[in-house]
Amino acid sequence: MKRITIVIPHYNSSKKLDRLLKSIFYQNYMENIEVVVIDDNSSEDEKILLKNIIKNYQCRFKLRFFENLYGKKGAGACRNIGIANTTTEWLLFADADDFFLPDSLKYVDKYINKEFEVVFFRPTSIYESTQELSDRHMIYSDLVDSVIKKDSYSNRLKLKTHFLVPWSKLISTKLLKENNLLFEEVMYSNDIMFSSQIAAKIECFTVSPECFYCVTSDKNSLTTTMSKEILESRLDVSLRQDRFYKECFTKSDYKLIQFQFISWIRKSVKYKFGFHYTLTILTKILKNRSKIIVFKRVLGKRFKKKHDALIDIKSD
């Protein structure tokens, strides 16, 4: 019986999905892994390529394919289909344009027989165009490293509340299904509330110094493009998350983990969205009683700098 399901949402990126599936196929750990791919209404040309790729890999390892036919588009809806159709004890989430490092999935083996609810791994990242090291992973690897260096209450709290991407962590299927934890079915930042709800629920988690997942950066991805619609949608999710953390954590814990929202003002100015739009953004933040700037002596300079930039690289 398989122990781990890798859930992969896909949309119009069959060539990159082929790279991801190839990176899984060449692992020396396939006896415990199944893969679920969910297509999010790709174009007809892409669907032809996709089905050929799926057929090719179904001959090599256990791979199930679904199509998102439920009306709501987006990676969140696709990931929820994956969760609903998994029967394994553990879940890994991967994006179709990322990949696993060679012979690296073996690192999960030491954790699958233990009672952890989540295992956080150190990720890495590259720029797609140049294959050079990117900085997209740095906040998350720094969070893991902080716990490895000093396993303190505050470091563990920051890790679980700020590691807001679904990839590079091993998640208990039981945790998700018993608490009905699902991704939001929105186009942008669908994973923020999912990760935040996990943070509020988990008690038994650990970190791993090993790295098995590489996330890619692309100038045209949802994480790098910006419009008024995208900015406001992402801001709304972050404001909901801020309210959620206020409700779920004690005042002292919230002070340790709360976000500052000055970056949203900076974004509006950077992209020249105009004075009135920027004022609208500021008003939303103030009505939510969220902090524009947070002064925290407990944070080291390096983490403080990363903390300031956290919202800038939240995933799609």
Apex 264 CA angle, 276 and 252, nearest 5? 130
CB proximity list for 73: less than 8 A, separation 6 or greater: 40, 41, 187
Distance CA 225, CA 220 (A): 6
Q: What is the mean pLDDT of residues 37-45?
A: 96
- Taking the C-alpha atoms of residue 298 and residue 254, their distance in angstroms, rounded to an integer, is 13
In the chain, the amino acid numbered 101 is: L
Query: CB neighbours (10 Å) of residue 295?
Result: 8
The count of other CB atoms within 10 Å of the CB of residue 23 is 20
Task: Read off the pLDDT band of 311 (50, 70, 90).
Answer: very low
Has residue 294 got a pLDDT over 80?
A: no
Question: How many residues does this entry show for the chain?
Answer: 316
Pairing of strands 169-172, 90-93: antiparallel
Q: For 51-101, how does the pLDDT look when each residue is reduced to its tens digit (9 = 90+)?
A: 999 999 999 999 999 999 987 889 999 999 999 999 999 999 999 999 999
* Reported pTM: 0.90
The one-letter amino acid at 251: K
Residues paired with 216 in a beta bridge: 126
> Which two three-digit tokens encode residue 114?
């233990």
| Domains, in order of start, for the chain | 4-217 (3.90.550.10), 228-313 (no CATH)
Q: Are 138 and 305 in contact (CB under 8 A)?
A: no
Tokens of 65: 């394919």
Strand bridging mode 33-39 / 63-67: parallel
Mean pLDDT of the chain: 91
pLDDT digits (tens, 9 = 90+) for 123-146: 999 999 999 999 999 999 999 999
